[in-house]
Amino acid sequence: MATMMHDDGAGGLLDNLAELSNLTSETILDQLKRRYEANLIYTYVGDILVATNPYQMLPIYTEEVQEMYKGASNKQLPPHIFAVADRAYEAMLYSQVDQCFVISGESGAGKTESTKKIVQHIVELCRAGNTELEDRIKTVNVFLEAFGNAKTVMNNNSSRFGKYLELRFDRSGAVQGATLSHYLLEKSRISFRNDGEQNFHIFYQLFAGLKDEGRLEHYGLAKPSDHNYLRGAGAPSDEQVLSSHFGQEWREVMGSFEFIGFAKGQTNSMIDMLVAILHIGDITFEPAPHDSVTITCTDKHLALIAKLLKISFEELKNAIVATRNITRGELVTRNFDEEKAAANRDATAKAIYARIFSWIFRSINDILKGNASHDCLVLGLLDIFGFENFKINSLEQMCINITNEQLQQFFNQHIFVYEQEEYKKEGVDFSKIDFVDNQATLDLFLKKPQGIFSILDEESRFPKATDLTFTEKCTAALTSHPSRAFKPPRSQRDLCFTITHYAGTVEYQSTNFLEKNRDTLSQDVISVLAASTDPLVSQLFDPTANANATVSTNKRQQSLTAGFKVSLVDLVKRLKQCHPHFVRCIKPNAEQMASRWEEDLVSRQLTYSGVLETIKIRKMGYSFRLPFQEFVTRYKIIAYKFHENPMQSSETCQVICSHAKLDDYQVGHNKVFMKYNHAEVLADLQREQSSALVFLQKIVKAHVARTKFSSLLQEKRKQDRRVTDFLTIAETRGTTCTLRMDKLKEEDAAKQEDRKWLTRVKKQAARAEARRAQKEAERQARLEAIKNEPAKVKTLPHNGFFVWERAEHLDLHVGPLPPPWKKKIDKRTNRHYFKNMESKVTTWVDPRSYEYRKHDPLETQGDELPYGWDEAETEDGVVFYINHLDGTHHPEHPRVTAQRKQEQIAKEQAEQKARADERRETLRVLRDKKRRLQGQLAEATDSTAIANLHQRIEAIDNVIRREISQLESVQSALRILQQVLENQRRKRHRIDPDRAVRWAAARWLAKIRSRRAPVQQTAF
Ligand SMILES: Nc1ncnc2c1ncn2[C@@H]1O[C@H](COP(=O)(O)OP(=O)(O)O)[C@@H](O)[C@H]1O
Ligand SMILES: [Mg+2]
């Protein structure tokens, strides 16, 4: 159980009052009061939940809160009804033992609300189960409240019956079915109500509902106030009934009937019976001779009742005013006097109502039964009247108080008697523990033959007995009862006696005890109703049916107390099979108002509910016990290592307990006995261990998983990286390309002009190229044509020498001379010459030979001559060569001259190089020498030596300088030679005039290309 402190500034508020160090009724009251003021309506007293009625909607039942309280037993949460529900459900599943909630308290203390909250939470906990059944359980409440609840001075919606709801679950906790039992329906409310109280809600709902449906007239109804059973001080006005929430509620009730699965016909019969009850209440009598009565209401009225119940009008009329018996073969009619007739009338109405009520329960149970097998777990919820002590206490109060006495005993037994036996059996010392046992008080009522109920039953069977004779007999038999709980009336004639209950002393007025106990309904009435043609009416009064067992059908009818006793025994039997959870509801004030605390009222309830007793008992007893085996299995982790397997013996239990630092525990023969708070201590320790275990498991699992998946993960990461890289590159490249494109576009736009020009130049270049190619082709053709020309044709002698004509007659083979050139014959020598007809220039050299003769003499081979040269021979046979380009004669072939010149220069170059090498060598030697002298100088100390060394170095420097200047002149000579070589080479080559055009184009292209700056590359 969670124990928490709330600091309110004025001392701590405890969640569990059993923790109070100073445990008195004052401190308990003070705590409860301060908690109530802080809207903390729930408080634990040990494992009992005290619930104070807030009389206002607090935000503590929301889905979130419910969620929070799921698995509440493992959490440190403030006290709550959900926590109790959760604990019971968990305990049921964990220990596979049936559980029950015993919810008690005064009328209006909040029992029914608490029951609803528990059902709400449990339904939520077993969500996965039978949802249809869950909805039905919720719906059942609607008409149970309509039929069983009424407005009282204590509570506007007071349940006038005790209710035991059993929810059945399969072993996994899914809800399987439910059973509802009812106890002590306050049927006297039909005919009699105290001031300020109302009849059962259903009658007002019926009125409003039939009005809305326009069926009031059909049922002979007009206004609620026309009817005896709906009149009286505190009854709602006609207006209030007919135009208020009742109409809406009626529709809900009818809707629920339909949803649950009641047949339409049955619902209609039930409505007929309810209307009949109202009409029965209006039957009136008048005294007649011979202690008889005459009915004063109209026949029409009676006929309507007969019609509604589908019974014989005559028989009804007779059964109301008299009873008939066959005595010794003769039919004897006994008339009722006015009082008896009225009692018979009301008994009829009450019986019909009570049987409808029982029938509803039976039908509900048939429907809610579900598919529960025998092997199921049960959660029981008992919502029953609390202890009552009014100014006038009658038989009903007595039954209620005995029920509470019995429940208190159940409680005591739970806590003490079982314990005592257990302690004994286990050899545990219980000398320190005081027991309170109210068995004697119960015996006072229930024991045969000398109990109050036995005496009452016996007296009820005597026609001559009276309430006084009953009181006298009780006085005689019980005054010295061992319980010492019976106190006789002060005067012998008083119709009263006093009982000291566990919760207080109550004076009972024994007036009408016999009549109430007989609970007789005339046999005639039963027969008339059993003969009804309405199946439901006849079924409810069928003398052979067992279903109406609460009202015995044999001749000697079961008395009220006998029936009560049977159901009480049954209830206790059921409760004893369960592990109980106690909820004590407390009413903070009588006015049903929020935030109002009436100390006396609360104090009285605490006494009645046994809470004060409980605290003492709880503190004294060992309420928490476990067999060794279970104890060791559950808690060994507290003292032993996980893998250790200690013996399941008392020694092991001792070790665990001392490890847990429990004090005041005892170890019996088979079980460990602990105080109620030890469960919490152990659970805390166990939780620590198990959370550590979970943590370790987590780590190991994580490790295994990590190992298993790390390679996968790595691969995945690599892949991811690759993808990311790829995407980054793609993106960057994309961006770069876009940028580059943009820039290019810009440049492109700027270069539009250049491009136009370039196109022009390109075209020109292409044209020039084409021209050149054409010329080349022509030249090749011409060369081809003269390939087989005779090499030499000697001219006629002229000026004493001959000239070898070479290819002057090219025109024969390669077409005419290009204009403005013309080929002519020199008359004197008979030799061809060529004339430019525009410039009038003449030449011996065929202008076309510019193309096909080699220009560089060094490139010629054999007799071949370069362009512009001729071979000639003097008349005396000396061969020489003519250069027509400068008109000079040469004794040798120009190639020979060129070669010689080249060789000469090469030789000169070699000489100069050798000279330079020589100088360099000299320089190297000199420098070495100088370095050596400088070394000596650095080491020398003698001044003359130093001076000498300086002198020598200077002399060497002079020589070096001279050598250098000589080397330089050699080198310049070498450069000049190189220049000469270059000049000669250039001279030997001519420039093709067409080539000039091509060069210009090339130069332009180069210039344009250089202007286009290279695009900047971005490094990635
Ligand atoms: N937990 C609660 N929160 C708010 N109001 C409550 C609570 N418990 C009871 N009440 C109020 O008190 C009234 C009486 O409660 P009820 O459960 O009918 O009492 P009992 O069944 O003990 O006679 C309810 O109608 C409701 O108005
Ligand atoms: Mg109630």
CA 122 / ligand 2 centre spacing (Å): 19
Among the listed ranges 241-250, 461-470, 732-741, 884-893, which one has the minimum average pLDDT value? 884-893
Query: What long-range pairs does 56-60 form, CB within 8 A, spacing at least 24?
Result: 56/594, 56/595
Overall average pLDDT of the 49-58 stretch: 95
CA 150 / ligand 2 centre spacing (Å): 10
Q: Annotate 601-656 with DSSP letters as a single string.
A: HHHHHHHHHTHHHHHHHHHHS--EEEEHHHHHHHHHHHHS-TT----SSHHHHHHH
d(CA 486, CA 510): 14
328 dihedral zone (left: phi>0; alpha: psi -120 to 50; beta) = left
For ligand 1, atom 27, which residue shows the shortest CA distance? 55
Atom of ligand 1 nearest to the CA of 154: 23
Atom of ligand 1 nearest to the CA of 116: 17
pLDDT grade, residue 1020 (50/70/90)? very low
How many residues would you count in the chain? 1020
What's the whole-number average pLDDT of the chain?
A: 85
CA 85 / ligand 1 centre spacing (Å): 18
- Contacts (Cβ under 8 Å, ≥6 apart) of 733: 1020
CA 51 / ligand 2 centre spacing (Å): 14
For ligand 1, atom 25, which residue shows the shortest CA distance? 157
For ligand 1, atom 16, which residue shows the shortest CA distance? 110
Q: Which ligand is nearest to the CA of 148?
A: 2
pLDDT grade, residue 555 (50/70/90)? very low
CA 857 vs CA 776, 861, 869, 881, 957: distances in Å: 22, 9, 10, 13, 50
Q: Which ligand is nearest to the CA of 103?
A: 1
CA 41 / ligand 1 centre spacing (Å): 12
Is residue 107 within 8 Å of 26, Cβ to Cβ?
A: no
Atom of ligand 1 nearest to the CA of 41: 1
For 428-439, what is each residue's pLDDT tens digit?
Answer: 877 766 666 788
Atom of ligand 1 nearest to the CA of 158: 23
Q: Which ligand is nearest to the CA of 154?
A: 1
CA 584 / ligand 1 centre spacing (Å): 13
Q: Annotate 796-823 with DSSP letters as a single string.
A: --BTTEEEEE-STTHHHHH-SPPTTEEE
52, 55, 145, 186: which to mutate for ligand 1, most atoms within 8 A of CB? 55
For ligand 1, atom 24, which residue shows the shortest CA distance? 110
pLDDT of residue 332: 86
Overall average pLDDT of the 442-469 stretch: 91
User: Is 49 or 803 the better-scoring residue by pLDDT?
Assistant: 49
For ligand 1, atom 9, which residue shows the shortest CA distance? 110
Overall average pLDDT of the 125-150 stretch: 81
Residues with CB under 6 A from ligand 1: 53-55, 57, 105, 107-113, 155, 157-159, 585
CA dihedral for 503, 504, 508, 514, sign (positive or negative): positive
pLDDT of residue 476: 93
b/e for 345-360, b at 16 or more Cβ within 10 A? bbbbbbbbbbbbbbbb
Q: For residue 590, what are its two tokens? A: 């009588």
Specify the 3-state DSSP secondary structure of 939.
helix
Looking at the chain, the whole-number percentage of residues with pLDDT higher than 70 is 89
pLDDT grade, residue 1013 (50/70/90)? very low
d(CA 779, CA 851): 7
Amino acid at 286: E
Atom of ligand 1 nearest to the CA of 386: 22
Sheet bearing 377-383, strands edge to edge? 42-45, 48-52, 579-586, 99-104, 377-383, 162-169, 175-183
- Helix axis angle for 439-446 and 452-461, nearest 10°, is 10
Overall average pLDDT of the 39-51 stretch: 90
CA 128 vs CA 123, 124, 136, 173, 203: distances in Å: 9, 9, 16, 9, 38
The pTM for the full model equals 0.62
d(CA 599, CA 30): 9
pLDDT grade, residue 261 (50/70/90)? confident
CA 131 vs CA 68, 124, 341, 441: distances in Å: 22, 10, 50, 45
d(CA 303, CA 292): 22
Q: For residue 336, what are its two tokens? A: 């009722």
Rounded to whole angstroms, the maximal C-alpha distance in the chain is 208
* Closest-CA residue to 160 (of 136, 207, 193): 193
d(CA 900, CA 897): 5
Is residue 93 within 8 Å of 173, Cβ to Cβ?
A: yes
Overall average pLDDT of the 35-51 stretch: 92
Atom of ligand 1 nearest to the CA of 106: 22
Main-chain dihedrals φ then ψ at residue 173, nearest 5 degrees: 100, 5
User: Is 331 or 583 the better-scoring residue by pLDDT?
Assistant: 583
Q: Which ligand is nearest to the CA of 58?
A: 1
pLDDT of residue 892: 92
| Best mean pLDDT range from 105-114, 267-276, 336-345 | 267-276
Q: Is the peptide bond before 820 cis (omega within 30 degrees of 0)?
A: yes
User: Is 328 or 141 the better-scoring residue by pLDDT?
Assistant: 141
For 91-101, what is each residue's pLDDT tens digit?
Answer: 899 888 999 99
Task: Return binding residues.
Answer: 105-112
CA 582 / ligand 2 centre spacing (Å): 16
39, 53, 163: which to mutate for ligand 1, most atoms within 8 A of CB? 53
CA 523 / ligand 2 centre spacing (Å): 34
User: Is 66 or 625 the better-scoring residue by pLDDT?
Assistant: 66
For ligand 1, atom 6, which residue shows the shortest CA distance? 55
For ligand 1, atom 14, which residue shows the shortest CA distance? 108
Q: For residue 83, what are its two tokens? A: 């926590």
CA 481 / ligand 1 centre spacing (Å): 39
For ligand 1, atom 11, which residue shows the shortest CA distance? 55
* Closest-CA residue to 547 (of 356, 350, 300): 356
Query: What long-range pairs does 527-532 form, CB within 8 A, spacing at least 24?
Result: 527/319, 528/311, 528/312, 528/315, 528/316, 528/319, 529/309, 529/311, 529/352, 531/311, 531/312, 531/315, 532/309, 532/310, 532/311
CA torsion angle for 605, 610, 614, 615 (degrees, to 10)? 20
Overall average pLDDT of the 275-285 stretch: 96
Specify the 3-state DSSP secondary structure of 16.
strand
Using the 8-state DSSP alphabet, how is residue 226 labeled? G
* Closest-CA residue to 909 (of 971, 964, 977): 977
pLDDT grade, residue 129 (50/70/90)? low
pLDDT grade, residue 806 (50/70/90)? low
Is residue 478 within 8 Å of 468, Cβ to Cβ?
A: no
Atom of ligand 1 nearest to the CA of 156: 25
Task: Return binding residues for ATP.
Answer: 105-112
CA 156 / ligand 1 centre spacing (Å): 9
Assess whether pLDDT exceeds 60 at residue 108: yes
| Best mean pLDDT range from 14-28, 410-424, 549-563 | 14-28
Q: Which ligand is nearest to the CA of 587?
A: 1
d(CA 120, CA 62): 11
Atom of ligand 1 nearest to the CA of 57: 4
For 892-938, what is each residue's pLDDT tens digit?
Answer: 999 999 899 889 999 999 999 999 999 999 999 999 999 999 999 88
d(CA 139, CA 118): 15
Q: Which ligand is nearest to the CA of 591?
A: 1
